[in-house]
Structure 1
Amino acid sequence: MSLLEIRNLSVEFGVRNRPFRAVENINLTVEPGEIVGIVGESGSGKSVTMMAMMGLLEKQGRVSADKMEFVGQDMLRMSPRERRKIIGKDIAMIFQDPMSALNPCYTVERQITEVLTLHHGLTGKALRERALELMRLVEIPDPEQRLQAYPHQLSGGMSQRVAIAMAIACKPKLLIADEPTTALDVTIQAQIMTLLVNLQKKQGMALILITHDLAIVAEVADKAVVMYAGQVAEIADVPTIFRYPRHPYTEALLKSVPEHSKGASRLFTLPGIVPGQFDRPKGCLLSPRCPYSQESCNQQQPDLALVTTHAQPGAVRCYFPLSIQG
């Protein structure tokens, strides 16, 4: 049984007679203990997809799906009360900006112990001991003193470690890390990623890593999901997607890595911009920018279809996948 299975997830914002579909027909499966990297440009729907799954968009947007199951439990039929028993306990999320993810009005101890009290009913000495244990687990020095600190007294890296401690407090089965290193210095970024991967292995949890950094995905992920304009463009295991990109957008992302442009006068770029609410093409959403676009690409959007070239399974949303062309 898969840990998480999502089928045809869509998210709409705006008024009903003129909605903007920010996420469209997303299919995603996560296995126990698997690390999945979700990559794509800003605005491609990576964070919205995960926030919709966690039930964090019910007031702002309209979420629909054919299937959304976590360990066999139907999340679509859960009441908000039932969902809250899972979110924060079995599914946890680390948000993009550690400085704004923490409540500035409460100490670190108050924020870490809240989730332990809510989901495990810990109190007194056992509660404080577990908080100290978590602080040591995320390698925060002098944890007794740091527990009494407020967020403004912590550095960005220290705040991110506190956010991670809160997320893993109940030993979740699935941890979602949304750009966990974006606001940090380069040296701290490496430390945080090493910490996350070590915790993932130690606790045996699955990890969904939302990132712009292809190097991180190549180094730590088992499977990669490439998103473009609210759709999944391609899914494959990491070795295959880096060796044999099937979607033109995946190929463009890989070509944009500076190491691939050594000796060139300019970095590779894909012309044009991501389509917005009012300029979405009738056919493939990448067709106005795609160097391989043909007439049929402009007529109708392709579905996400299974492809098994190079003896490796995967899925691609393209009428003319590159591996088949080549």
Structure 2
Amino acid sequence: MSLLDIQQLSVEFGAKGRGFRAVDSLDLQLNQGEVLGIVGESGSGKSVSMMAMMGLLAGQGRVNAQRLHFDGQDLLTISDRQRRKILGKDMAMIFQDPMTSLNPCFTVGYQLEEVLREHMGLRGAAARARALELLQMVEIPGAQSRLDSYPHQFSGGMAQRVMIAMAIACNPKLLIADEPTTALDVTIQAQIMELLVQLQQAHHMALILITHDLAVVAEVAQRVAVMYAGQVVEQGPVDRLFAAPSHPYTAALLQSVPEHSRGARRLHTLPGIVPGQHDRPAGCLLSPRCPKVQERCQIERPGLLAHEGTQVRCFFPLVAEEVA
């Protein structure tokens, strides 16, 4: 049984019947200890889908799903009290900007201990000792003295390490990292990713990595899901999908990597923009931008079907000769 099983997840914002569908019929499965990369342009629904799964969109959007199970529990029917027991303990998330995730009014030691009190029942010296252990685990120098520091006294990279420490405090079964290195410089990005991978392997956590960085996905993940305009357009094993993408959008993403344009005057780009609320095409959502578009694509919307080792949402998937 999968640790995480998502079937036909949809998220809508705005007035019912006239709203904007930010996530459309998302299917994802994840096993214990597996690393899944989710990639796509900004606005493709990567972060929203994970926040919806965790129940963090209450009162903001309408979430529907055919199945939404985590570790044998139905996330669609559990009570708010049961959900609070899961979030932060068995399922944790690292957000993009640590400075907006940490409370500026409390020391990092207090915030770490709060998690430990809530989910593990640790108090006093035991909570303090575990908080110190967590800061040491994420390699914060002078961890003992930094327990009494406030978030503004940390650099961006160190604050992100605090957020990672908070996320792994209760040894979660699933860790979701949402662009965890976006606000950091390049050298710190590499350190944070290395730390995440080490912790994931040491604790055998399942990891969902939401990122724009295809190189990181190729190095870290076993499987990858490519999202476009709220839909998964292709998913499968990293080596298979990167070597021979079946969807034109996946191929365009890979061609936009600078290494693929070495010697060219300009980087490869895909013309146009992701369709918004009022300009969604009737057929395939990529059809206005797709170089392989045909008449059927403009009038009919494709489903996600098996194709040569991956799942692809395309009537006319690419073959190896076209990719090359």
Fold match by TM threshold 0.5: yes
The equivalent of 1:160 in structure 2 is 160
> Partner of 2:190: helix, strand, or coil?
helix
The equivalent of 2:9 in structure 1 is 9
5 Å-filtered alignment, 1:1-326, equals: 1-307=1-307, 309=308, 313-323=309-319, 326=322
Consecutive unaligned residues of structure 2, counting only runs of 5 or more, are: none
> Take 2:319 and 2:120, find their aligned partners in 1: how far apart are those partners?
50
Shift in Å at residue 325 of structure 1? 8.0
Amino acid in the other structure paired with 2:169: A
Q: Percent of aligned pairs with the same residue?
A: 66
> Take 2:177 and 2:249, find their aligned partners in 1: how far apart are those partners?
23
Consecutive unaligned residues of structure 1, counting only runs of 5 or more, are: none
TM-score computed with the length of structure 1 as normaliser: 0.97
Shift in Å at residue 16 of structure 1? 1.1
> Partner of 1:148: helix, strand, or coil?
coil
> Take 1:318 and 1:174, find their aligned partners in 2: how far apart are those partners?
31
Once the two structures are overlaid, the 10-residue window that deviates more, 26-35 or 68-77, is 68-77
> Take 1:325 and 1:152, find their aligned partners in 2: how far apart are those partners?
53
CA deviation digits over 1:197-220, x for unaligned, max 9? 000000010100000000000011
Amino acid in the other structure paired with 1:195: L
> Take 1:266 and 1:46, find their aligned partners in 2: how far apart are those partners?
28
> Partner of 1:24: helix, strand, or coil?
strand
CA deviation digits over 1:252-304, x for unaligned, max 9? 00000000001111100001111000000000000000000000000111001
> Partner of 1:171: helix, strand, or coil?
coil
CA deviation digits over 1:75-112, x for unaligned, max 9? 11111111111111000000010111111111001111
Amino acid in the other structure paired with 2:316: F
For the 8 Å contact 2:244–2:320, the answer to whether it is kept is no
> Partner of 1:242: helix, strand, or coil?
helix
> Take 2:233 and 2:272, find their aligned partners in 1: how far apart are those partners?
17
> Which 4+ runs in 1 deviate beyond 3 A?
none
TM-score computed with the length of structure 2 as normaliser: 0.98
Shift in Å at residue 18 of structure 1? 1.1
Amino acid in the other structure paired with 1:79: S
> Partner of 2:196: helix, strand, or coil?
helix
> Partner of 1:322: helix, strand, or coil?
coil
> Take 1:33 and 1:267, find their aligned partners in 2: how far apart are those partners?
36
Shift in Å at residue 144 of structure 1? 1.1
Give the total of aligned pairs.
322
> Partner of 2:319: helix, strand, or coil?
helix
Cα distance change, pair 325–74 in 1 and its aligned pair in 2 (3 A): farther
Shift in Å at residue 324 of structure 1? 7.7
CA deviation digits over 1:298-323, x for unaligned, max 9? 0111001112x2xxx22010001102
Cα distance change, pair 88–282 in 1 and its aligned pair in 2 (3 A): same
